[in-house]
Amino acid sequence: MIKAAVIGLGAMGQHHVRVYKELGCELAGVADADINRARGIGEKYNTRYFYDYRNLLGCADVVSIAVPTSAHKDVACEFLKSGSNCLVEKPIASSVAEAEIMIEAARDRNVKLMIGHIERFNPVILKLKELIDEGVLGKVMLVSTRRVGPFQPRIRDVGIIIDSATHDIDAARFLTGREPVAVYSKAGRFKHPSREDHALIMLDFGDSAASIEVNWFTSHKVRTLVATGSEAIAYLDYIDQTLTVHNYRQESRMKIEKAEPLKTEIAHFISCVKNNTKPLVDGLEGLNTLKIALAASEVVCDV
């Protein structure tokens, strides 16, 4: 039986604990800087809990790391060097240098490093990728996304581009199967003076492009993607997990078997560890998305 540990028990980390339990893993323990939170989760799932994550070094086959981005490198490297396979919440790290250190640590110990770009495991994205690869949309010329909604207090150490736009940057890379040749952005601080809270990003893929809109002050959550091709256009809703394709002849609502993306993601991670296969979103994939997000973050103005 796979032994799992979770470091960082905020909203996302708590879901990791739940999913590992639902997938039949043995919980080796959990850790959080808030010992009361750690105690609550530890008691709920009948597992050990700690304030200091180092108490779990060498105790688990797989470790989910859901601490603030600025701590990803230090925490992940300790577990990687101890021989644990690590699933690190996105983005991979705060800088390219930190990400490269993490990738090297995983390579040195021959363990898996996977980055939690969860939308890659959303069934609607997987279905859209299948349709694109089959040529149903023809040549895809534009991917347009909107990820807007109220500010989440859990976010403390990064702006909206690193926290939120990375989802859609990664999705655009995945759907097109390409890396952008240029990145353009307009970002600013409106309600949150310490970090950018809105941005419009354009990724130039040469003969196609992606536009990405994010903000932290819209009154309700919107998570949508539109893929425009030469033969059809596809409308995707991440939240409802719906996908509709329009062409010159008809409108088709795709049949989607709804699933929890996080559960699919963690099941994939465990499978990669058991079967010694490469994760869909490994360290290099996470690094490439981070590079684009950092490029888009270079121009931020006050509004």
**pLDDT of amino acid 191:** 76
Q: What is the pLDDT of residues 212-260, one digit of tens each?
A: 999 999 999 999 999 999 999 999 999 999 999 999 899 999 999 999 9
CATH 3.40.50.720 in the chain is located at 3-111
Residue 141: enclosing H or E segment and its boundaries?
strand 140-150
Which CATH code of 3.40.50.720, 3.30.1490.190, 1.10.4160.10, 1.10.3720.10 fits the domain covering 3-111? Answer: 3.40.50.720
Position 298 scores a pLDDT of: 81
pLDDT tens, residue by residue, 169-194: 999 999 999 999 999 999 988 877 67
pTM for the whole structure: 0.94
pLDDT for residue 234:
98
Neighbours of 252 (CB within 10 A): 15
Residue range(s) in the chain whose domain bears CATH number 3.30.360.10: 119-259+291-302
- DSSP string over 181-247: SEEEEEEEESS-TTS--EEEEEEE-SS-EEEEEEESEEEEEEEEEEEEESSEEEEEETTTTEEEEEE
Q: How far apart are CA 251 and CA 261, in angstroms?
A: 26
pLDDT in tens, 81-133: 999 999 999 999 999 999 999 999 999 999 999 999 999 999 999 999 999 99
Residue type at 162?
Answer: I
275-297 pLDDT, tens digit per residue, is: 999 999 999 999 999 999 999 99
Topology adopted by domain 119-259+291-302: Dihydrodipicolinate Reductase; domain 2 (3.30.360)
Angstrom distance (rounded) from CA 92 to CA 199: 20
Pairing of strands 182-189, 140-150: unpaired
Q: Which two tokens stand for residue 156?
A: 């403390």
